[in-house]
């Protein structure tokens, strides 16, 4: 992941509703969730949610497919993994003792 994509992804996630929507989609796996279900879970109006989902999609963090009359959104796990990888690739100068989940 390059620096521009990283900045776009972090900017998209740096808002409460977008972060909540992304985490909700990550929990739903590859099946994703309908926009209406996401809005209901978050308690936000569908029009507001559409704006937030568009920001996440533009940053490459989620994908959207039409199934009949519904729009189904899914987390883009490859983009999420690339983002985390970019943020941790030079962690502690490469010393294994400070990698996430390990004591420093």
Q: Are 52 and 17 in contact, with CB atoms under 8 Å apart?
A: yes
Cα 63 to its chain centre, rounded Å, is 10
**Helix ranges, the chain (H):** 3-13, 16-27, 35-42, 46-58, 77-88
Residue 104 pLDDT > 70 = no
Averaged pLDDT, 95-101: 63
pLDDT, position 97:
66
pLDDT, position 89:
83
pLDDT, position 88:
84
Please tell me the pTM assigned to this model.
Answer: 0.86
pLDDT in tens, 26-72: 999 999 999 999 999 999 998 899 999 999 999 999 999 999 999 99
pLDDT in tens, 79-97: 999 999 998 887 777 666 6
Distances (CA, A) of 41 to 4, 31, 44: 31, 16, 8
Alpha carbons 12 and 6: distance in angstroms, whole number: 10
Alpha carbons 17 and 42: distance in angstroms, whole number: 8
């Amino acid at each position: 992941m390059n620096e521009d994509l990283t900045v776009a992804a972090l900017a998209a996630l740096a808002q409460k509703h977008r972060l909540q929507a992304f985490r909700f989609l990550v929990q739903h796996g590859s099946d994703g969730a309908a926009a209406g279900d996401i809005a209901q879970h978050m308690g936000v109006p569908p029009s507001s949610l559409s704006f937030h989902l568009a920001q996440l999609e533009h940053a490459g963090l989620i994908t959207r497919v039409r199934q009949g009359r519904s729009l189904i959104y899914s987390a883009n796990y490859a983009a999420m993994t690339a983002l985390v990888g970019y943020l941790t690739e030079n962690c502690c100068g490469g010393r294994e003792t400070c990698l996430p989940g390990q004591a420093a």
